[in-house]
Chains A and B, each alone.
Chain A
Amino acid sequence: MLTCDTYLSPGSLNEALAAVAASAGHFRFVAGATDLLPWAREGRAGDVHVPLMIDIAGVPELKAIKVQGNRLWLGAATPFQRFLDRTDLIEAAPGMPDCAIWFADSQIRESATIGGNIINASPAADGIPPLLAANAIVELAALRDGGIRRRRMPLSEFLKGPGLTAAEHDEILLGVECDALPGYGGAFEKVGHRRSLVISVVCLSALVRMDASRRSFQDVRLAIGGVGPVAQRMTAIEERLKGQPVSAELLRDVMAVCDGFIKSRSRQDYRKQVTPGFLVRALAKAMKTAGANENACAIAEEVAHG
């Protein structure tokens, strides 16, 4: 049971930071609340009393979604459902819709935010691999020396471990800036005990762009979660694929080197078994939506299901 004395819903960043400044540090930020409320229950944190809750989901910068040229700004309070129903987002962030449809359930997707998913820093967070694949940079704001200090860093550096990030206690995650990737095909693979409301045992995001021949990979971005303390890019595999024509041999080659990414404490064998299949299935799907040539798609499909 989570209790508080005061619940504020500031309408601006200044107001939010002023509330932080007045609180003597005894506060918590709230956005979607879908992780926070289950956390304060028996078996986890138990009954928790937080004197001040600061709901930042209404702060305009956190709600903003902007596509400018090849940059995409996703305010931290963007709910996952928007990746399924906003056409501008679907185009600019092709890695997100497949992730969103597997994320929790349709109701939680309306509340849960990408900022919360990042700050919660679960090793199995579904939202993180596609953001890593889009080279996301986080932006944070805090009051320092009488003014607002903003700072940025790559998401890959921001994530420090299970439940750990580089955010200081009074820093607000404003959002992430990503590569806008129209023309890329995206895919997301996930396995857990059931389809809805399930923590990923493995989740994998793929973004693919084909070259003019539509037979060769021009760019490939891959990220994997659930297999170690933090989600990670599969850079070695990306490098192996970039510029190469699609062939069964190439795909089987990269399937063979997945084991090195599995650094989990438990169920290593299972994860090693599913990851190569996820990799090639995600590539096949992403190639298809990226407009790869039929023959190339058929090769990938066959390796994926063969």
Chain B
Amino acid sequence: MADLLSIEATINGRHVTKNADPSQRALDFLRDDLNMTGTKEGCGAGECGTCSIFVDGALVKSCLLPVAKLKGKTVDTVEGLAKSGEMSAVQKAFHKAGASQCGYCIPGMVMAATAALRLNPDADRDEIRERLGGNICRCTGYQKIFDAVEMARDFLNGKLSANAFDDLDQEEGKYIGVNVRRIDAPSKVTGALRYAGDMVLPGMLHVQVLRSPHPHARIMSIDTNDAEAVPGVEGIVTSADVPGQDGFGVFVADQPIMARDKVRYVGEQIAAVAAETLSAAREAIKKIKVEYELLPAIFDPDEAMAAGAPVVHDYAQDNLVKHIPIRNGDVEEGFAQSDVIVEQTYETQQVEHAYLETEAGLAYVDHDGVVTVHSPSQNITHHRHMLSRILNLPINKIRMIMSPVGGGFGGKEDMIYQGMLALLAMKTRRPVRLVFTREESIATTAKRHPSRTSYKMGLSKDGKIIAAQIRMVYDGGAYGMSTEGVIRKGAILGGGPYNIPHFQIDTYGVYTNNTPSGAFRAFGSLQSQFATESHLDLCAERLGMDPFELRLKNVMHTGDRTHTKHILNSCSMEQVLVAARDASRWEAGAPNVRGDTRSDLGGEGTRRPCTVTPRGPISAEAEPLKQRGAA
């Protein structure tokens, strides 16, 4: 048993005396013991800055700070900035500038901005950038955040009027083309908003998950006896606990709540434990014994489609999730008419969504027996329907509540953990909560589909595209998830916004033993756009033509018909290309005729290389910073 530490500290101006577990980090102490959840955990490794707090006036990352280091200190958290409910200048500026989107990074950003302006009330944009360098945002692209810090700086320096943060100049009832306040921003800039991992209920248990170390293996047995015996363990579930028809997915219900009979990728969930404490749950996980019979695994989608490849799902002996063929015109005839034929293969890799909020959920069975799951799901209605079937409960006994989504980008569309939480809530009859670690989130959740695209394009000498033949293989990983939709989108958008008289595309979604691929912004078209646009540059090179000119010769206009017989009622592609060409000060010419000699590099609006020099200590004669600064 641990020797508890007595922590006496001043936190947001209040004296606090509390015994703390010595294993806690300052972050755990604030969140778990003091229920101050404005300070977030995004990575637990000091990389993301969602947990920034002031300790004796210096901003630090509370996930890297043992709780003992708070003894006798003065601590300020995001909750302490908005004294008496009045937001600080920095918080108001974040609200006004529209700097918060999902909001998960925002408490840390507000803290870092506050620190920057306290240290240098006149910090310029480059200094603000450097001082916020320890904080990551995935939604905004940072510009709105830097705008907000500059706005707060100017306000505090008296360069903006006292009513600078008042309502925007917005016409009554007009929303399109004007700046509109985000009504949820105050809750985000103050840290008041509770994401799923911030929620607690009395009697709540902590969930941890046992995951497969193998890419493909038969599960011979699962022995949970030793794990059940760990003090504090209240329930363990495996696929054997699923009462209804197991299986979920957006297009094909091929994924069990937890691995059934076999595992298909490294990181697949096998069992979940609910215990009184997180450490008891983690200890129990280590005591679950699983016997595996290893199976040959397949990692390359082209190899997976070949005869004799290991089969990932029995129902799909060819490992094919879906094949989408589209034909328009006659490509062979088109190639015969072409002056130039260009062929190339393109590959793209897995991409992690990297939302700042990792997957988290809180589930319980309410007084009416309604199984209730709070989670940042991007698809609650679909999840509710699937869970009804899986749990064998009428739909009115299932309730999915969408908690604030701390970044999704498609990565939170699949119901990968909500089912386990529902089962554990039903089994223990207690509220249960699971929060993924960053490592768990990266290693086990769906990614952008890796792709391999073989492209063949035929063109006339003057740059008209006559035919294109495209074969795209998308690695769907171990489960179907959104693959069918992704490859359909790839087929629909594969040729890009260009008129191609003879067009043929085949997209394939393939099962492998890789981490499943799922929804991700642009949903399958990014892969094909990458191939198409790269290919057009190669064609321009071959034709000795300017790449903008080549595109403008083939671009679709209003009234044109796509290869899926879609008549475009509106198409602004030409204006977009011209605007991009002009804004980039593009120097006309074929891609391969210029190198170091091109004149359109650098110049106004070009980001300078990343440099940084020490600024030297702030002069002691300067005004007391805290009075002048953002407070």
Chains A and B bind each other:
yes
Q: Does B5 count as interface, using CB distance less than 8 angstroms?
A: yes
A106 B614 Cβ-Cβ under 8 A: no
Contacts of A194 in B (CB 8 A): 610
Contacts of A269 in B (CB 8 A): none
Q: Does A195 count as interface, using CB distance less than 8 angstroms?
A: yes
Known: A55-B69, A110-B60, A197-B134. A98 touches B23 (CB 8 A): no
A105 B133 Cβ-Cβ under 8 A: yes
- The distance in angstroms between the C-alpha atoms of A185 and B440, with both chains bound, is 46
Stretch in A3-11, A132-140, A142-150 with 4+ CB within 8 Å of B: A3-11
Stretch in B46-54, B239-247, B258-266, B478-486 with 4+ CB within 8 Å of A: B46-54
Interface residues in B367-402 (C-beta closer than 8 Å to A): none
Contacts of B617 in A (CB 8 A): 84-87, 90
B65 A4 Cβ-Cβ under 8 A: no
Known: A42-B437, A101-B614, A106-B131. A6 touches B3 (CB 8 A): yes
Q: Does B162 count as interface, using CB distance less than 8 angstroms?
A: no
Stretch in A32-40, A68-76, A296-304 with 4+ CB within 8 Å of B: A32-40
Q: Does A107 count as interface, using CB distance less than 8 angstroms?
A: yes
- The distance in angstroms between the C-alpha atoms of A225 and B619, with both chains bound, is 33
Contacts of B282 in A (CB 8 A): 1, 47
- The distance in angstroms between the C-alpha atoms of A226 and B65, with both chains bound, is 27
- The distance in angstroms between the C-alpha atoms of A58 and B68, with both chains bound, is 11
Q: Does A53 count as interface, using CB distance less than 8 angstroms?
A: yes
B133 A195 Cβ-Cβ under 8 A: yes
Contacts of A2 in B (CB 8 A): 23
B437 A107 Cβ-Cβ under 8 A: no
A106 B437 Cβ-Cβ under 8 A: no
A197 B46 Cβ-Cβ under 8 A: yes
Known: A37-B64, A41-B437, A197-B47. A107 touches B612 (CB 8 A): no
What's the tally of chain B residues with a CB closer than 8 Å to chain A? 45
Contact with A along B529-548 (1 / 0, CB 8 A): 00000000000000000000
B134 A108 Cβ-Cβ under 8 A: yes
Contact with A along B108-144 (1 / 0, CB 8 A): 0000100100000000000000110110000000000
Interface residues in A17-61 (C-beta closer than 8 Å to B): 30, 32-34, 37-38, 41-43, 47, 53, 55, 57
A84 B1 Cβ-Cβ under 8 A: no
Contacts of B69 in A (CB 8 A): 9, 33, 55, 57
B2 A6 Cβ-Cβ under 8 A: yes
| Residue of A whose beta carbon sits closest to that of B286 | A47
Which of B64, B437, B612 interacts with A111 by CB under 8 Å?
B64
Which of A9, A101, A106 interacts with B613 by CB under 8 Å?
A101
Contacts of B65 in A (CB 8 A): 33, 111
- The distance in angstroms between the C-alpha atoms of A3 and B615, with both chains bound, is 39
A108 B610 Cβ-Cβ under 8 A: no
Which of B45, B58, B133 interacts with A37 by CB under 8 Å?
B45
Which of A100, A104, A197 interacts with B614 by CB under 8 Å?
A100
Contacts of A32 in B (CB 8 A): 64
Q: Does B463 count as interface, using CB distance less than 8 angstroms?
A: no
Inter-chain contact count A-B, CB under 8 Å?
Answer: 130
Contacts of A107 in B (CB 8 A): 49, 52, 59-61, 112, 115, 134
B614 A105 Cβ-Cβ under 8 A: no
Q: Does A102 count as interface, using CB distance less than 8 angstroms?
A: yes
Q: Does A295 count as interface, using CB distance less than 8 angstroms?
A: no
- The distance in angstroms between the C-alpha atoms of A5 and B1, with both chains bound, is 6
Contacts of B131 in A (CB 8 A): 106
| Residue of B whose beta carbon sits closest to that of A50 | B23
Q: Does A130 count as interface, using CB distance less than 8 angstroms?
A: no
- The distance in angstroms between the C-alpha atoms of A224 and B259, with both chains bound, is 50
- The distance in angstroms between the C-alpha atoms of A42 and B64, with both chains bound, is 16
Contact with A along B11-54 (1 / 0, CB 8 A): 00000000000110100000000000000000011110100100
CB distance from A159 to the nearest CB of B (A): 24
Q: Does A97 count as interface, using CB distance less than 8 angstroms?
A: yes
A38 B437 Cβ-Cβ under 8 A: no
A106 B612 Cβ-Cβ under 8 A: no
Q: Does A268 count as interface, using CB distance less than 8 angstroms?
A: no
Q: Does B327 count as interface, using CB distance less than 8 angstroms?
A: no
CB distance from B630 to the nearest CB of A (A): 15
- The distance in angstroms between the C-alpha atoms of A33 and B58, with both chains bound, is 16
Q: Does A196 count as interface, using CB distance less than 8 angstroms?
A: yes
Interface residues in B202-259 (C-beta closer than 8 Å to A): none
- The distance in angstroms between the C-alpha atoms of A107 and B115, with both chains bound, is 10
B614 A41 Cβ-Cβ under 8 A: no
- The distance in angstroms between the C-alpha atoms of A110 and B23, with both chains bound, is 21
A4 B2 Cβ-Cβ under 8 A: yes
Interface residues in A231-256 (C-beta closer than 8 Å to B): none
- The distance in angstroms between the C-alpha atoms of A37 and B45, with both chains bound, is 7
CB distance from B595 to the nearest CB of A (A): 18
Q: Does B439 count as interface, using CB distance less than 8 angstroms?
A: yes
B3 A106 Cβ-Cβ under 8 A: no
Q: Does B63 count as interface, using CB distance less than 8 angstroms?
A: yes
- The distance in angstroms between the C-alpha atoms of A100 and B58, with both chains bound, is 16
- The distance in angstroms between the C-alpha atoms of A97 and B65, with both chains bound, is 24
Q: Does B350 count as interface, using CB distance less than 8 angstroms?
A: no
Contacts of A197 in B (CB 8 A): 46-47, 133-134
Which of A7, A42, A87, A105 interacts with B66 by CB under 8 Å?
A7
| Residue of A whose beta carbon sits closest to that of B58 | A110
CB distance from B24 to the nearest CB of A (A): 9
Known: A2-B23, A37-B45. A195 touches B612 (CB 8 A): yes
Contact with A along B74-117 (1 / 0, CB 8 A): 00000000000000000000000000000000000000100100
Q: Does B602 count as interface, using CB distance less than 8 angstroms?
A: no
- The distance in angstroms between the C-alpha atoms of A121 and B538, with both chains bound, is 47
- The distance in angstroms between the C-alpha atoms of A163 and B25, with both chains bound, is 24
B22 A106 Cβ-Cβ under 8 A: no
Q: Does B624 count as interface, using CB distance less than 8 angstroms?
A: no
A102 B612 Cβ-Cβ under 8 A: yes
- The distance in angstroms between the C-alpha atoms of A23 and B323, with both chains bound, is 65
Known: A84-B614, A108-B134. A34 touches B46 (CB 8 A): yes
CB distance from A110 to the nearest CB of B (A): 5
| Residue of B whose beta carbon sits closest to that of A7 | B22
Contacts of A102 in B (CB 8 A): 612
Known: A97-B614, A111-B60, A111-B64. A196 touches B133 (CB 8 A): yes
B22 A4 Cβ-Cβ under 8 A: yes
Contacts of B45 in A (CB 8 A): 37-38, 41
* Among all A-B residue pairs, the 8 with the closest Cβ atoms: A105-B134, A196-B133, A7-B22, A97-B614, A42-B439, A38-B45, A3-B23, A85-B617
**Sampled A-B contacts (11; CB under 8 Å):** A1-B23, A1-B278, A6-B2, A7-B66, A33-B66, A43-B443, A90-B616, A101-B130, A106-B59, A108-B46, A197-B46
Identify 13 new A-B residue pairs, CB closer than 8 A, beyond the known A37-B66, A38-B45, A111-B61: A6-B3, A7-B23, A9-B69, A34-B61, A37-B45, A47-B282, A84-B615, A85-B618, A98-B614, A101-B615, A108-B134, A194-B610, A195-B610
